[in-house]
Structure 1
Amino acid sequence: MTFWQLILHLFNFVLPALAMAVLMPWAGRWVMGSGGAPLRRRMAIHAVAGVLVLVAGLVVQGHDGKMSTYMLLVLVAATVEWALHRGWAQK
């Protein structure tokens, strides 16, 4: 494996987490309204949480790309967005 192939492989590994990190703050703003943490901070937190979920799925299941890992990625992203909007304090 060349260095370029390694970079592409790692990028494709984290791409679902990065896509969720970009989309979830906008979806949270649409569903829960404006407020909460600033947009860029929410994107960064989503990116870190998503990559951690993908790495945990790789470690636990032995290989990447399992649907259960992607399901957990969506659940964690939704929970993080709810927490960043302080969903427990809203009416």
Structure 2
Amino acid sequence: MTLLSFLSHLAGFMAPALGVGLLLWVGLRIRRRGRPGIGAGAQFGLLCVAGVAVLLAGLVFFGRDGKMATYAALVLMQGTVAWWLRGR
């Protein structure tokens, strides 16, 4: 596998986490909510790291990528992180 092919596979693997994280981050920015002391970039980073961690856990648990249960867990985890970031 060439480096370009590896990077393409890695980008495809991480795309769902980055996409959902971006949508949730935009929602947080529109509502102008967020925990004090956590910047916008850090919020997006937390959402993406949580999402990629769930995708990696699904890959290890199921032995392959692309299971719907993994994507459901991705949405639940990133939604929970966004809810925590929203704070009150």
Give the TM-score, by structure 1 length: 0.84
Q: Is 1:77 matched up with 2:78?
A: yes
* Letter of the 2:66 counterpart: G
4+ runs deviating over 3 angstroms: none
For 1:44-78, what per-residue CA distance to the aligned partner results, in whole angstroms no more than 9, with x for missing partners? Answer: 00010000000000000000000110011001111
**Which stretches in structure 2 are left out of the alignment for 5+ residues?**
none
Q: Give yes or no for contact 2:17–2:52 (8 Å, CA) kept in 1.
A: yes
Aligned residues: 85
1:34: which partner in 2? 32
**What is the distance in 1 between the residues matched to 2:18 and 2:56?**
13
Equivalents in 2 of 1:81, 1:25: separation in Å?
8
1:19-48: CA deviation from partner (whole Å, max 9, x where unpaired): 122111222445xx3221432211000010
Residue in structure 1 matched with residue 2 of structure 2 by the alignment:
2
Identity %, equivalent residues = 41
Q: Which residue of 2 aligns with 1:13?
A: 13
Provide structure 1 residue ranges, at least 5 long, that are not aligned to the other structure: none
Aligned-residue Cα RMSD (Å) equals 1.4
Separation in 2, partners of 1:73, 1:7: 22
Equivalent residue letter for 2:19: A
